[in-house]
Structure 1
Amino acid sequence: MTLTLYYHPFASFCQKVLIALYEKEIEFEPRLIDLGDAAQRAELSRLWPLAKFPVLRDTASDVILPESSLIVDYLDRHRPETIRLLPDDPEEARRVHLWDRLFDNYVATQLTKVVTDQFRSEGRDDPDGVEQAKATIATAYGIIDEELGRGGRWIAGDGFTLADCAAAPALFYANIAVPFERHEALSAYYQRLLARPSFARVIEEARPYRTLFPLEWPADY
């Protein structure tokens, strides 16, 4: 086995890569990293000095690759024999990348701001920043809902892609802080994501770590 994934199963960007690995049925060695453990953090830092996961190591190609979108792209190009998560057509690929960036930057990253604020000590919290982040998420919901309302099964069309790998964990966590039930097309899309075996597996693997999340879990989660 040449692939090792340095990750944590509860982190949304790691889940994005896990979904891709499970979709493509690629074998890999999981290396769970607890950033609170000095030795494990140092191990990750030696691979990627920013000490952020996920990081993929491919010993066969002597490649160390951070950043979830780059990892999925790498997996897709080097393991093309199964489901393709990025289209060969440049225009279709651009569309997938656009939606991938929207989910990462305007849903997942904004939700991180909301969650991080829960851990700040009194007097150092940022209620204005939290409200701005929630407003950005709500705006993103409207954009996503409008796109899905055009009839595509997945966010970039009829095929499951990198963009859907990004969407699933981003929506899973963001829906807790900023519910999207009034967006019918988005809600229906989310149900399709939940039914996807790769994402269902990711949710179950992350379940033991739910105490790490400071927001209240809905009863139906």
Structure 2
Amino acid sequence: MALVLWSHPYSAYGQKAAVALYELGLPFDLKLVDGSAGVMEGFLAVSPFAKMPALIDTEANRTVIESSIVIEHLDRRAGGGRLIPADPDAALETRLIDRILDVYVGGNMNRIVFNRLGRAGTPNETAMAQDAAELQTAWDMLEARLADGRTWGAGETFTLADCGAAPLMTYARRLVPFGDRPRLKAWHARLMARPSFIRALEDAAPFGDLMPAPPAVD
């Protein structure tokens, strides 16, 4: 197989890459990062910071890390212009939404989870409250960007921004609910119905529910 994805099906950023692969119709082999010593040794060789996902493209003789860069590479491999719009302004909006999601949704979410799991000792309630407040700001920013009536995260086509939004929003809203943000809720509902994300969730289902927070109710 020309494409090998080092990841775990429950990883939000791994799901982000998987959604892109399914959207583009690119077959791939999953190298499951299960935490075992032998696997981690190989994973660190391709991803020195031990961050998922990492992509090996044997045809291009290239290893790509960081989910957004992985998706840019995949989009080019598939002919370009699908997940990264050809129009420069549309591409800029796509990358902006992607960065909001990665940094202010995913970043804050991961820090809250890190604290809740006690990875650094006694959970830091002050830090978690700060991260939750930043997540609220991210929800507000996204709700405002959606006010122009766009169907997807960056416009009328499904892009890089939506690949990340699907898993990151799904998990983060379990920590900080969407609240009274109807446009955000409607976008998320469209993401939940997207076949590529449904497949990514099906891939993760055998691993159970690893999120230390109850399902969202808003």
With the length of structure 1 as denominator, give the TM-score of the two structures: 0.93
Q: Counterpart in 1 of 2:47?
A: 48
Q: 88-97 vs 191-200, which deviates more?
A: 88-97
Q: Which runs of 4+ in 1 moved over 3 A?
A: none
SS in 1 for 2:141: helix
Distance (whole Å) between structure 1 residues aligned to residue 176 and residue 74 of structure 2? 32
Kindly state the Cα deviation for residue 61 of structure 1 after the two structures are TM-superposed. Answer: 1.3
Q: Is the 8 A contact 2:171 2:211 kept in 1?
A: no
1:1-221 alignment runs, 5 A limit = 1-35=1-35, 37-80=36-79, 84-120=82-118, 124-218=122-216
1:181, distance to aligned residue in structure 2 (A): 3.6
Larger CA deviation: 21-30 vs 44-53: 44-53
Q: How many residues align?
A: 218
Residue 121 of structure 1: how far off its partner (Å): 6.8
Structure 1 residues 87-111: Cα deviation after superposition (integer angstroms, max 9, x where no partner): 1122221111011000000001110
Separation in 2, partners of 1:121, 1:165: 28
> Deviations 1:58-87 (Å, cap 9, x if unpaired)?
111110111000000000011117x71001
**SS of the counterpart of 1:142?**
helix
Unpaired runs of 5+ in structure 2? none
Rounded to whole Å, the distance in 1 between the matches of 2:181 and 2:212 is 25
Distance verdict in 2 for CA 1:202–1:80, change over 3 Å: same
Uncovered stretches (5+) of structure 1, i.e. residues with no partner:
none
Q: Deviations over 1:134-175 (max 9, x none)?
A: 100101101111111210001111010000111111110011
Cα distance in structure 2, aligned partners of 1:77 and 1:151: 28
Q: Could you say if the C-alpha distance between residues 121 and 97 of structure 1 is closer, same or farther in structure 2, counting changes exceeding 3 Å?
A: closer
How many angstroms apart in 2 are the aligned matches of 1:76 and 1:216? 35
